[in-house]
Structure 1
Amino acid sequence: MTETMRLDGIRAGRLGPEDLTRNFSDLHPRFSDHEALVAADRCYFCHDAPCVTACPTDIDIPLFIRQIATGMEDAAARTIFQQNILGGMCARVCPTETLCEEVCVRQVAEGKPVEIGRLQRFATDSMMAAGEHPFTRAPETGRRVAIVGAGPAGLSCAHRLAMLGHSVTIYDARAKPGGLNEYGIAEYKTPGGFAQAEVDWLLKIGGITVETGRTIGAGLALEALRNDHDAVFLGIGLGGVGALGLEGEALGGADNAVDFIAALRQQDDLTQLPIGRNVVVIGGGMTAVDAAVQSKLLGAENVTIAYRRARDRMPASRWEQDLAASHGVRLVFGVVPHALHGDDRLREVELAYVGPDMAPTGETFRLPADQLFRAIGQKLVAVEGIALEGGKIAVTGAGRTSVEGVWAGGDCAAGGQDLTVTAVAEGRDAAMDIHASLTDGRV
């Protein structure tokens, strides 16, 4: 918890335990058996299904839904996990409304898609709740791989490599593995400690050691990792957060949205988590929406998301925007932060209107604010000796970097979408490329 979150006007206990428990309940509860059968029955089981093409991990969606429809939940889970070992988390946090469900034939024809995400959760939760692991580890190859970053890309890469018989060590800077799944996603999307439960389940494959509190560049050198291992995979995410560069930004009350979300995710008692009365969030992605909605759920009276472009340019999907609005969050478009005003702490945020070309119109207005969250994107903490492209690690093929024997994937790598499901796909594909490299192409 940062010191700025203990200031006057930003206090804990705005809501009681019962309200907070209700507010942070599961956003999409698991289907019952009957509900799953009814939802699965809506699928046309299309040949060359567009939903499969839209899935970054290439899950055979019609197949797993047919397996659910015929009472074979375990087979459905195996179909999902074969392509996406973090299918349980992705079922909860994937923007299915802009991926598989957006192109569903039912959506195109009727405006109501098959609920693919919830069906995926039904299948994966069933297997995980039983404690089963769908895969067994191949015989030990004697090869050792280092993975830096225990987020979705690193975990996906580690699991596939371990399944193929390699020994894997994951290094992560945080106290817990999981990356953004553990520290960066709204609590109401993954309640009940699911992120850590999923990590524990994934590690059942064997052959994976996790070392926390290890940071690349600070006691963990890339060259040493290369010398001590047969291959290295970087799934380090985007750790740096840029400043707004505004007058008054040093005032108490301004914080990073990712830090707020991480503090919330690690807080055992939400009645002890401080929140302001008037909150402004700068940004337009899912992190901005998560920070804004959770501010409301904690008891903030007025919450505003301020985004610089028009609504149709907002990175967060329309579904996420509507979720925010349904919780009473005000969305303001075509504005940029101009200045932060206050005395000993933040009192007001001044916003300036901009045109479609981002040119200022000369008009400004102020909003009362005792707390501001920056959700303006993150940046790579550079790794010495690795070539970059557009501020991220340059990669070719299945994640090969400019350094021999080093791969990268997930948010830190250039070219992909900053989504959990994309990170899983990139980690998996890099693992297969690493395996081919270590075995002279014998996949």
Structure 2
Amino acid sequence: MQQQLGPDIAHGRLEAADIASGFSDLHPPLEAHEALVEADRCYFCFDAPCMQACPTSIDVPLFIRQIQTGTPLAAGRTILDSNILGGMCARVCPTETLCEEACVREAAEGKPVKIGMLQRFATDRVLETGDHPFDRAPETGCRVAVVGAGPAGLSCAHRLAMLGHDVTLFDARPKAGGLNEYGIAAYKATNGFAQAEVDFVLGIGGIRLETGKVLGRDIHLADLRADFDAVFLGIGLSGVNALGAEGEAAAGSHDAVAWIADLRQTVDLAQLPVGRRVVVVGGGMTAVDAAVQAKALGAEDVTLVYRRGRAAMNASRYEQELAQTRGVHIRCNLAPRRILAENGHVTGIELERTREEGGSLRYTGETLVIEADQVFKAIGQQLVADGLSNETDGLALDGGRIRVDGERRTSLSRVWAGGDCVTGGSDLTVVAVEDGKVAALSIDTALRAAAIPAGLAGRLLDAATPLHAPER
């Protein structure tokens, strides 16, 4: 944050020990005995609903059985074979609305097997060995460019390298990891886990990482298509939606995504300034993460405001309850009208009450003001297509995102895409991982079908890849 600090925005509001407690591991890992006890609760269902609910189709009954039989390394490999970022997903996945919600014990008892915790137990055992569990296939001689080293790009790069292709992985930021490094709440991924997982992924070999390379500035899609046999775009959503409210540029008004990224890269959190009174606008995971972390830094009063009702919030019920137990006030049916400021600094936010009628949002005209020193905007992100501007005649967009088919092929030959940047993309790490894996398998099939030397593969694939494949 480069803005001038307001009079009530300061660091050191809490003692270092209190800050450390607020940012400690949200779910401490299971001990070996606890994992065995929890694994014993699994029914090992045939056609298990938990497996069907997992976007990456992890064989949940199998890996839990492997834990139960005392082979956690085998369990970790089972998980990582489907989801190479299974360690992070075990920490950040909304399991309460995915595998655990589908668990038979949830339906029978209201207490599902702790699948996420067991997944973390198994994957941590693998990472602790320092050995990569997978070997590369013989080199194919094919070269693939992966743009974006977030979950989708890392997943795609790893699978391609595992299949024997040479991968160059580009990212605009100084570090790889994408959302996992810069966007996840610090209390969900502690002790540098995101970078440890990146190192693990790169440990397969055959992947060259180049950071600080911005698409459209340092690298260009046309050049990548000319120099590589295939291209995967996992560029995420770097644009942030504006409130469109008066006073939005006042000091103390921040983009929540950028603030969380700053927080994640801050070594001493006691030195990160925060307001005494904080308002977060939004109803998703980013809004909750910003609100909870502002409170953990010492903000005395944190309010999350959302324009619709509680049931419409993208943040899960669990995340909403987490925010409330951490001292965050959640107020719904309030839409921002303007940010109030004095001498250029935020002093509050004016909101209008709303109601829903027949599924439509209605503005009532009734307003109220919440005093604030800081306002964080977390109302969604958008694709920045600057780096794609020279390719727009061939690269189809839909709803402001890249259109892909079921194999994550774009309308542009030899270009695949996945993650948040594609139409229908989700902000979930696990969905991005699946996109990267599916795209890698499709790329591998296309390259092998060409059955010619790598230097000529591009020309044949120009003809082989459909320009207008069925939409995802």
Q: Shorter-chain-normalised TM-score: which range?
A: over 0.9
1:107 Cα deviation after fit: 0.3
For residues 115-162 of structure 1, what are the alpha-carbon distances to aligned partners after superposition, in whole Å with 9 as ceiling and x for unaligned?
A: 000000000001101112110111111100000000000000000000
State the match for 1:204 in structure 2.
Answer: 203
State the match for 1:375 in structure 2.
Answer: 378
State the match for 2:415 in structure 1.
Answer: 406
1:441 Cα deviation after fit: 7.7
Q: Does 1:435 align with 2:444?
A: yes
State the match for 2:355 in structure 1.
Answer: 355
Please tell me the residue identity of whatever aligns with 2:39: A
Please tell me the residue identity of whatever aligns with 1:89: M
Please tell me the residue identity of whatever aligns with 1:274: P
State the match for 1:387 in structure 2.
Answer: 396
For residues 23-75 of structure 1, what are the alpha-carbon distances to aligned partners after superposition, in whole Å with 9 as ceiling and x for unaligned?
A: 11100111000000011010000000000000000000000000000001011
Structure 2 Cα separation of the partners of residues 14 and 323 of structure 1: 22
Alpha carbons of structure 1 residues 441 and 305: separation in structure 2 relative to 1, 3 Å: farther
State the match for 1:32 in structure 2.
Answer: 31
For residues 194-229 of structure 1, what are the alpha-carbon distances to aligned partners after superposition, in whole Å with 9 as ceiling and x for unaligned?
A: 000000011110000111110111121100000000
Bigger Cα displacement from structure 2, 180-189 vs 127-136:
127-136
Please tell me the residue identity of whatever aligns with 2:421: C
Structure 2 matches for 1:87-106, cutoff 5 A? Answer: 87-106=86-105
Please tell me the residue identity of whatever aligns with 1:324: A
State the match for 1:12 in structure 2.
Answer: 11
Number of aligned residue pairs: give it: 441
State the match for 1:108 in structure 2.
Answer: 107
SS in structure 1 of the partner of residue 130 of structure 2 = coil
Please tell me the residue identity of whatever aligns with 1:320: E
State the match for 2:75 in structure 1.
Answer: 76
Preserved contact between residue 6 and residue 346 of structure 2 (Cα < 8 Å): no
Structure 2 Cα separation of the partners of residues 217 and 184 of structure 1: 23
SS in structure 2 of the partner of residue 102 of structure 1 = helix
Structure 1 Cα separation of the partners of residues 366 and 412 of structure 2: 49
Structure 1 Cα separation of the partners of residues 444 and 293 of structure 2: 42
Structure 2 matches for 1:34-433, cutoff 5 A? Answer: 34-344=33-343, 345-356=345-356, 357-382=360-385, 383-384=388-389, 385=391, 386-433=395-442
Structure 1 Cα separation of the partners of residues 435 and 167 of structure 2: 17
Structure 2 Cα separation of the partners of residues 285 and 98 of structure 1: 14
Structure 2 Cα separation of the partners of residues 263 and 96 of structure 1: 27
Q: What is the percent sequence identity of the aligned residues?
A: 62
Please tell me the residue identity of whatever aligns with 1:244: L
Structure 2 Cα separation of the partners of residues 176 and 64 of structure 1: 31
State the match for 1:2 in structure 2.
Answer: 2
Segments of 5+ residues of structure 1 without an aligned counterpart are none
1:7 Cα deviation after fit: 3.0
Structure 1 Cα separation of the partners of residues 339 and 21 of structure 2: 34
1:342 Cα deviation after fit: 1.4
Which runs of structure 1 show a deviation greater than 3 angstroms over 4 or more consecutive aligned residues?
none
SS in structure 1 of the partner of residue 406 of structure 2 = coil
Segments of 5+ residues of structure 2 without an aligned counterpart are 452-472
Please tell me the residue identity of whatever aligns with 2:326: H
1:17 Cα deviation after fit: 1.0
Preserved contact between residue 419 and residue 436 of structure 2 (Cα < 8 Å): yes
Please tell me the residue identity of whatever aligns with 2:352: A
Structure 2 Cα separation of the partners of residues 104 and 82 of structure 1: 22
Alpha carbons of structure 1 residues 441 and 314: separation in structure 2 relative to 1, 3 Å: farther
1:397 Cα deviation after fit: 2.1
Structure 2 Cα separation of the partners of residues 131 and 319 of structure 1: 34
Structure 1 Cα separation of the partners of residues 399 and 186 of structure 2: 31
1:3 Cα deviation after fit: 2.1
State the match for 2:456 in structure 1.
Answer: none
